[in-house]
Structure 1
Amino acid sequence: MPLRRSMPMTPSIWSQTLRRHYTSRQHLDTPTIRKTSFPALSAALVFFNPKHISIGNGYHGSHGVISIISRLTGLKKLDLDCPAEQLEKGDVVLLETPVNPYGTSFNIKAYADKAHARGAYLLVDSTFGPPGLQDPFLWGADMVMHSGTKYLGGHSDMLCGVLATKNKEWRERLLNDRAYLGNVMGSMETWLGVRSLRTLEVRVQRQSENATALVKFLHDALKTSGSGNGSTDIVQATVKEVVHSSLQEKDMEWLSKQMPGGFGPVFSIILKEERMARVLPTKLKFFHHATSLGGVESLIEWRAMTDSTVDRKLLRVSVGLEHWVDLRDDLVAGLKTCLDG
């Protein structure tokens, strides 16, 4: 049965203050809030009930949710860049941008146009591009999800999933589904979320600036030849590649408009040896070795520990609010220890 406005609802179900704060930052109708991102994604798939979902590599947890839904509905996966003709009416394109663990970005409008031309829907996972950096609705997203555990929470002390839409009818249906299926945030987590959203834009823009400065330092060092500079020599001896949205020079015509607030606080480093990738996180002082991200503290992860599909020499870096020069010096010192044995 559908919910009636006269039905009594507890504050933990409605989470009105948290939804109002998110709404004011994303310029949309109020979202539905869930305990984590997994219930948020499963709620979207239950809502759309597609026959096919077009998805890239991205976050391995999303693929886990899809595999469970597929057991119930027969949902089939398509490649993110599959021919448009493979999409059918009511299907879903799940676009994660910036994408985990690389921190690179996709053109939201291009995928929205592709989906809509076939009668499909675009669901954007904007976890790595929270309000303050990008607004997927401006570029054609039908629904937006976040792992609010990350940047919306921002302090590594709460779990949260957000599912947002500008369609009021859809929102009412999502609220109705949540009332009966559960996955409601607790009051404490809701309070923590309200606290966090009050500083969201300030945090993520500073974190993005720090990440971009670090990426530029590493990228410039890799391009420099015969400098004799100690830091540059260390980077060249240990780092194979650095990956981040700010380095997508050929895409800047659309990317600078899509992400006007910054290119994101997450980037990846691919080292020259797996041994170095395993050791470096244990040699740093400012960066903590952890699999989460989005907090005010900087984190680094040897990603192969939690995702077997990525390059075993890859490190995912989530930049915090520390001064970027301190982070730079910490990275260089850590890389030097990798050379020392």
Structure 2
Amino acid sequence: MDSTLVGQGGVVDDDVSVLGWGFIGAGSISDDVAAQAISEKVVDPVAVYARRHEQAAAFADRHGFRAVYSTIDELLADASVEAVYIALPHSLHVDATIRALRAGKHVLCEKPFALNAAEVRQGIAASNDRVVAEAFMIRHHPQWQWIEQRIEDGSLGAIRHVLWSMSLDFPEPVQPPTLPGQGSILLDVASYGVNIARMAFGSEPSSVSANTVDLPSGVDVRVSAQLQFGDGTAQIMVDARAPRISTVRIMGSNGYIDVLNPVHAGADGIARLSYRFGDSEASDIDFVRAPQYALQLKDFARCVALGERPAVDLTDALGNAECLDAIRLSASRNGQLVTV
């Protein structure tokens, strides 16, 4: 089996200006994004807001943000803030996005952009000429860009099947959720599989059949869904209560790609995939040091500067939300086939 090592030496500088960013939300994901983006010098850290002021102040100290605000509207009134990154609880995403858009800011919102398709449409209605993107950072990772290129150039042939299977071994929640969508494995993890399946097929599914396992609180902790794309299928299987493992395979009429580190690199910093096209021998590729959060923010700035479409814009976010809605509806009907 052949093996290739692909180095990723950081974010390459170009002529795109660094944006002044306001972070709305100061939790663990914001920590990861800020640390990487600031290290790679792709953001100007202007301001931060969190629902707990002391959390925002500590966040600002860690990452060098110049201002800490007690309300979202105060942050949005700061003229130095050109774009906002939103990483609040899922149910608060759309309200914060619309307020930011009305203030004239560009918006990068964590996935899921909204709880459902109806909320995404509210964001679309408010977007005007601002750049708005859903933060599926994996779409900016070199391994997924390599995969997209292989799909587009026909190396895989016609896509026949996508399998996204992940288990997370998440701990039991210490208290019931206080906000809609909080703790949902469908919104948190299965949404990745839906997005990748839609990218691979280059279309929206025609129908969905799904089942979920829910806690007494109503939070889903296991999802099994089959999506129909013409004569191809995608299977999305995610379990929050099983030992950690991931299996992602994209199969085409001319080969396959197995993705061994689909969301985050391994402990050694390497994201590895295996592939085989046509009659060639199976090969491996190791992608090393890929700062996908920084790459995401850099690409967002490029879209702002050049007026280009983000990799995951609101049209894409709407397609994902409609599919997640269909999964939820099918599960509520004991796996009944639902048209998307």
TM-score range, shorter-chain basis?
0.3 to 0.5
TM-score, structure 1 length as denominator?
0.33
Give the structure, 1 or 2, with the largest relative contact order (CA under 8 Å, sep 6 or more).
2
Q: Which has the higher helix share?
A: 1
TM-score, structure 2 length as denominator?
0.33
Q: Which has the higher strand share?
A: 2
